[in-house]
Amino acid sequence: MFKTLLKPLSPAGARGRLSVLIFHRVLPQPDPIFPGEVDAHTFDAICQWMKSWCNVLPLDLATRQLQDGNLPERAVAITFDDGYADNRTQAQPILARHGLPATFFIATDFLDGGRMWNDTVIESVRGCRAAQLDLRSIAKPDGNGGSSGDLGLHTIASPADKRSAIGAIIGQIKYLPVAQRHALTTHIADCAEVQPPTDLMMTSQQVREMRQAGMQIGAHTRTHPILATLSADAARAEIHESRVRLEQLLGERVGLFAYPNGKPGTDYSPESVQIVRDLGFDAAVSTTWGASRAGTDVFQIPRFTPWDRSKLRFGARFAGNLWKT
């Protein structure tokens, strides 16, 4: 049914449409704190649906065909952001089983034992044994050298409480500079009396294994900053140095980029886009929902993923994304 429905919404040729799916993690088992996070069983089903309904293409080929006006009908590309180890241990074997390509965007400073700041928050709350996490001793920087209150007292007695607390804490520090985010999350782990894991992200060897298995690797900055808040020189260094490290690691050119967080105007600016162009990348992806068509800026390709677990709802939302754009 969906294959037939998608054909007029995503035709071949000059009127072609490209849907790009975005994922971050594929967990071995469902997470009680984040039950909506994709697990291996769900991802296997999504891959089955995509193989049945769509023509799944490598992202670089898809963007070239979009520009040339010769996309196949029902064109889709699959992408992952950040570089989590479960991309290698869970996602890649499932993709291989279905014969599907994907592109993995790597924040390079977190390879080989690093950890993203938001995961420090998540794992601190997850591992805290108390019913409340008291962060009132941690001042929240106001961006002008002062403070704007503290990080608060959070009830974490249940999985739902933990999810709410994580959202509240992350929301308070998300748009701070990288160094401040790191310092604050270190204090949060100390308050929680938790030593967060150091194996959440891929190793360099796992990145090489992904490429050797036929997956594409793209750049995603070094430290996952909010590019719109950086100077032009700092933004350029983040983007360029992440690409250089990947190229040295893989021994080949890296032509694809993903903006961290990815909301235009909020997370990256027109200046960020120009830097990516000037550095000679082939294409870049955002997190704006939608599907690409002829004339879409290939340095701001939209991405979307339905969050539904049933085939009917997933398919309907997938088709709706094409219909609305």
Give the domain ranges of the chain.
2-113+203-324, 117-192
pLDDT for position 247: 98
pLDDT for position 146: 66
Cα separations in angstroms, 193 against 64, 135, 208, 262, 273: 50, 12, 35, 32, 41
Cα separations in angstroms, 307 against 21, 35, 194: 11, 11, 31
Distance between CA atoms of residues 113 and 131, nearest Å? 29
Q: Crossing angle for the helix pair 159-173 and 117-127, nearest 10 degrees? A: 150
* DSSP string of 160-179, one letter each residue: HHHHHHHHHHHHHHTTS-HH
Closest C-alpha among 313, 312, 287 to residue 302: 287
pLDDT by residue (tens digit) across 306-319? Answer: 989 999 999 999 99
Cα separations in angstroms, 234 against 30, 48, 165, 259, 323: 38, 42, 32, 14, 39
pLDDT for position 325: 78
Superfamily of domain 2-113+203-324: Glycoside hydrolase/deacetylase (3.20.20.370)
Instruction: Name the residue with tokens 């919404």.
Output: 9
pLDDT by residue (tens digit) across 130-148? Answer: 999 999 999 987 666 667 7
Distance between CA atoms of residues 73 and 20, nearest Å? 14
pLDDT by residue (tens digit) across 25-34? Answer: 999 999 999 9
Are the C-beta atoms of residues 261 and 287 closer than 8 Å to each other? yes
Are the C-beta atoms of residues 266 and 288 closer than 8 Å to each other? no
Distance between CA atoms of residues 134 and 275, nearest Å? 41
Q: Name the residue type at position 43.
A: F
